[in-house]
Amino acid sequence: MSSRTLPLLFINLGGEMLYILDQRLRAQNIPADKAKKVMNDIITTMFNKKFLEELFKPQELYSKKALRTVFDRLAHASIMRLNQASMDKLYDLMTMAFKYQVLLCLRPKDILLVSFNHMDAIKDFVKDTPSILSLVDETYRQLIEMYTSLSHGEFQLIRQTLLIFFQDMHIRVSIFLKDKVQNSNGRFVLPTSGPVPHGTQVPGLIRMFSCTGEEVTRLQFNNGGNYTAGLREGSFEMFGDRVTKLGTNMYSVSRPVETHMSGTSKSSAQHTKVNTAPNPLAKEELNLLAKLMGGLEVQKTGNADSGFRVNLFATDEEEEEALITRPDELSYGVINIQATKDHQANAELAKIMGEFTESGHQSPSASSKGDDLLAMMDGL
Amino acid sequence: MYHKEKSIQIKNSASALYNNLSVLRIAPRRLTYFTVVHANVVNMVSASWDGLNYSHRQLQSKEPNVATSTSLIMQAAFCVLPSRELLVITSQKGIQMYESDGSIMVYWHALDTPETPSEVNYVPAQAVFARGISAVWENYICVGVSSGSILVFDVPSKGSNITLSEVLEEHKESITDIASECSGSQQCIADLVSADDGGNLCVWKSGEEFQLLNKIPGFDMSCSSVKLWKGTVVAGYGTGQIRLYEAVTGILHAEVNAHARWIYSLDIAPFSGLLLSAAEDSLVRVWHLTVSQETNSVEVAHLHNECVTDTQICGARFCDGDGYAFAVTGYDLSEIIRYTQT
C-alpha cells in the first residue's frame, strides 16, 4: 500500500494527543508555566529535524506496537508522567479521533486539510516561541512538498492504508457518543445528508446524449438522502481557511473524556490476529525510535519539584480500576524505553542495529530477530 | 424491488479496497463462493443454495522467503474461462492463482520491484502492487500493476503451465480495474477495458497480440471500477459519477450523478442489463441499461436504492446473470449482506 502514509498518521495522531493533553492540563489546574513547558517540549520532540527526516522517508506503516511505543516516548518527552492506564486511554482517544476524521472526510485529499488543521493548532500552541515555530513551519513545507502534487487516486490509496491500520477498532468515546457521531456499538455515524465533496455533484441526475454530443434526455431519480451542493475547496497552503472542521480541537469546551472498554472485545480480537504477524521491517521502526531517543534531553525523573503526573480519568481510583479491567485483546504490548541520552546506551543500540543490518536479506529468522531486538530494548 | 436476506458471517471484516467482493456461482453443485479481502487474508465462504451449509477457508498472501506474510492483498477475483475457473489474488508482492475452491495454488508470479539501491529495506516512493483482474476470451487472464502495466497470462485448459504472454504498456498511472465481455463463445470487436487512477480508459481486442482499439481520457478523476457490456464501457469514478461510453469510438452516451462519494464497485447482470453501483456514501443503487447496438443508443433508468446504514461499501456483486440477487460488503463489516428480488 502507500509508502507515504506514516507522516500523516503521525502528525494527526500527535495533534490529537496535544489537544487531549492541553485539556487535561487545564482540567487538573497544572500551573501555566509547567503546562506550557510540557506542550513546548512535546512539540519540539515531535518536529525534531532528524526525527522528521526519518518519518518522511518512503516506508510501510509501522506496526501498532511500534507506533504506540513512539507515542509513549513522545508523551514522556517532558516533565509530565502518565500511568499505563492513562496512556492507554490517551492512545485510544487519539486513534479513534483520527479514525473518525479519516472516515468522515468528504474526499481522500481532505485528509491533508485535516492534517493542516492539526498543524494550525500546533502552530498556535507555540506561537510565542520562535525557535519551535520555525520547526513547525519547516514541517508545513515538507507536507506541502510531499503531498500537494499527489493525485486523488494516490490520496485514496493513503486513505485505504490508514483504514487498514484502523480496521476493527470500535472503542466507544464519550464525547463522540454524546455528540451522536458514534453509535453505542462503537461504529461511527455516516450521514446521508450534508454537502457533497468539492468536485462532486448532488446525486439525482441522469443525462443521455446523442452521438453528436447533444443532450437528448434528462431524468431525475430519488437519491435516498438529503444532500446539498459542495462547499468551496479548502486551502492547501501554509495559511488559509481549511473549510473542513475535521481535525480542529473538539475538546475546547471542557468535557470529561471517558472511553468504554466493554462490548469491544469481540471485534478487537479479530484485529489482533493480523497484528501478531512478525514484522520483518522492525529495523525501520527501531531507526525512528533511536532518532527519537537520541534527540532527548535527560529528564530528571525523580525531581519532585518540576515533575508531575497527569491523569486521564476523573480520579486515581478510576485510573487503577481501568488498568485492572482492560481486556487483554486491547493491550498494546508497549515496550518500555527509558528517556535517556546516555551515550553508552545509544552506542549499544547502534551496535545491535548494526548487527541486524549485516544479516542482509530477509530469511525466515529475520522476522523473529526484529522481535528480539524490540524485546532487547526493554532492558536499555 | 429487492428485500434483504440473511447475511453470511465472515471470519474477518472487509478492508476498504475497490471491488472487494467476488462471487462464483457453481450451478451443478448448487453452491456459491464468495471472497472478501481483509488486509493480508482472503476470506472464502462456500454457501449452499438451500442456506443450510456454509464452509469457510482463508488464503494468505504469499511472500517469497518469509514464513508469515505481511504483504497486503489488493484484490481477489474469480476468473471464469470456458475450460476452467481460477481464483486470482493480487498483492503488494505478486499474483497468486488458485483452483476456484482455493484448495491448490497453481501459479505464482512475483512483481518486479524497481531497481533497488544497495540499502536492504529500500522502499520506493511509488507503491508497488497488482490490482485489476479479468478473464479474457478463451484462455487469458489479465492483471494490472501499479506502474500502469497490464500483465497478460496465457492459461492452459488444465494444469499449472501458465505463462506470461504479453505486457501491455499503455497506462501511465496505477491500474484500478479491468473488465471484459464475450469470453469464449461470442466474437466482439472489443473485449477488454482497463481503467487507471487518472480515470483513463483503454479498450482492447484480445489475441496472441492484444490490440489497443481506443483510449478514453479521464479528467484526473480516478476510475475505480469498470465494466464492459454490449460494446459499452460503464465506468465509476471517485466523484461519484457513472459514465457510459461506446467502447470503440469513445462517444459519451450517458452521464449519471450517481453517488455522493467515491464509487467502489460496479457490476452488470449480462442477461438482464441490470447495473449495480456501490459507494462510500452507504448506498447501493440498481439501474437498468438498454443498449441498442443497431440504433447506437444507450438508456439508463434508475430502479432501486438500498442504504447500508453507517457503512462505507467496498464491494457489490450480482449473484447470478439475471440480477435476481446481489451481495454487498462494507469496510469494518464482518458479514456479506444479501438482497433478493421480491
What torsion do the CA atoms of B28, B61, A169, A21 make, to the nearest 10 degrees? -170
- Pick the residue of A99, A211, A275 with the most B CBs within 10 A to test the interface with B by mutation: A211
**Residue of chain A minimizing CA distance to B283:** A224
Tally the residues of chain B: 342
How much is the pLDDT for A198? Answer: 94
pLDDT interval class at B124 (50, 70, 90): low
Q: Which residues contact B329 (CB under 8 A, 6 or more apart)?
A: B14, B20, B21, B36, B313, B314, B315, B316, B336, B337
Give A110→chain B minimum CA distance, Å.
13
Q: How far apart are CA B158 and CA A206, in angstroms?
A: 46
* CA–CA dist B262, B259 (Å, integer): 7
Quick check: A24 contacting B, CB < 8 Å? no
How far is it, in rounded angstroms, from Cα B141 to Cα B77? 11
The mean pLDDT of B275-291, rounded to a whole number, is 97
Write down the pLDDT at residue A253: 57
By the 8 A CB rule, do B300 and B288 touch? yes
* Torsion angle in degrees (nearest 10) through CA of A65, A68, A69, A72: -160
Interface predicted TM-score (ipTM) over 0.90: yes
At the topology level of CATH, where does B2-111+128-341 sit? Answer: Methylamine Dehydrogenase; Chain H (2.130.10)
- The percent of residues above 70 in pLDDT, for chain B, comes to 93
In chain A, positions 115-144, which contact chain B (CB-CB < 8 Å)?
Answer: none
Amino acid in the structure at residue A324: I
A298 lies within 8 A of chain B by CB: no
- pLDDT at residue A356, rounded to an integer: 34
Mutate to test the interface with A, among B11, B43, B120 (most CBs of A within 10 A): B120
B43-63 mean pLDDT: 91
Among B13, B241, B261, beta carbon nearest to A168: B13
CA proximity to A266, closest of B17, B314, B13, B21: B13
At residue B337, does pLDDT exceed 80? yes
CA distance B252 to chain A (A): 7
Residue B131 scores a pLDDT above 80: yes
Do the domain assignments include residue A370?
A: no
Q: What percent of chain B has pLDDT over 90?
A: 82
Q: Does A107 lie at the interface with B, CB-CB under 8 angstroms?
A: yes
Q: What is the pLDDT of residue A282?
A: 59
pLDDT, one tens digit for every residue, chain A (380 residues)? 899 999 999 999 999 999 999 998 888 888 999 899 999 999 999 999 888 988 899 988 888 888 898 899 888 888 888 988 889 999 999 999 999 999 999 999 999 999 999 999 999 999 999 999 999 999 999 999 999 999 999 999 999 999 999 999 999 998 899 999 999 999 999 999 999 999 999 999 999 999 898 999 999 999 999 999 999 999 999 999 999 999 999 886 566 555 555 434 333 333 333 333 444 445 666 666 666 655 544 444 444 456 788 888 877 888 888 888 877 666 665 544 443 344 444 454 444 444 433 333 333 333 344 444 444 444 33
pLDDT band at B171 (very low <50, low <70, confident <90, very high): very high
Check pLDDT > 50 for residue B332: yes
Domain count, chain A: 1
Q: Is A28 on the interface with B (CB under 8 A)?
A: no
The reported pTM is: 0.88
Is there a contact between A160 and B311 if contact means CB atoms under 8 Å apart?
no
Q: Which three cell numbers stand for residue A370?
A: 526484529
Check whether B185 has a pLDDT greater than 60: no
Yes or no, beta carbons of A364 and B65 under 8 Å apart? yes
Report pLDDT digits (tens) over B237-249: 999 999 999 999 9
Q: How many alpha carbons fall within 13 Å on the CB side of residue B228?
A: 27
Parallel/antiparallel/unpaired status of strands A226-228 and A193-195:
parallel
Provide the 3-class DSSP secondary structure of residue A293.
Answer: helix
Residue ranges of domains in chain B = 2-111+128-341
Residue-range definition of the domain harbouring residue A72: 5-192+235-253+307-329
DSSP letter assigned to residue A188: B
- Residue A239 resides in a domain: yes
Query: Which residues have a Cβ under 8 Å from the Cβ of A183 and sit 6 or more positions away?
Result: A189, B310
Q: pLDDT (tens digit, 9 = 90+) per residue, B217-228?
A: 998 899 999 999
Q: A114 CB contacts (<8 Å, ≥6 apart)?
A: A12, A101, A102, A105, A242, A244, A246, A247
Task: Say yes or no: A360 contacts chain B, CB-CB below 8 A.
Answer: yes
Contact A270/B at CB under 8 A: yes
For residue B216, pLDDT beyond 90: yes
Out of B127, B239, B281, name the one closest to residue A3 (CB).
B127
Mean pLDDT value across chain B: 92
Q: What is the mean pLDDT of residues B309-334?
A: 96
Residues of chain B positioned with their CB less than 8 A from the CB of A273:
12
Q: Measured between alpha carbons, how far is B113 from B92 in angstroms, rounded to an integer?
A: 10
Residue A260 lies in a domain: no
User: Could you tell me if A219 lies within 8 Å of chain B, comparing CB atoms?
Assistant: yes
Is residue B181 pLDDT above 50, yes or no? yes
Q: Which of A46-55, A279-288, B47-56, B275-284 has the highest mean pLDDT?
A: B275-284
Q: Which residue has the higher pLDDT, B188 or A183?
A: A183
CA angle A116, A118, A123 (to 5 degrees): 90
Lowest mean pLDDT among A79-83, B252-256, B271-275: A79-83
Chain B contact probe: residue of A155, A162, A190, A373 with most B CBs at under 10 A = A190
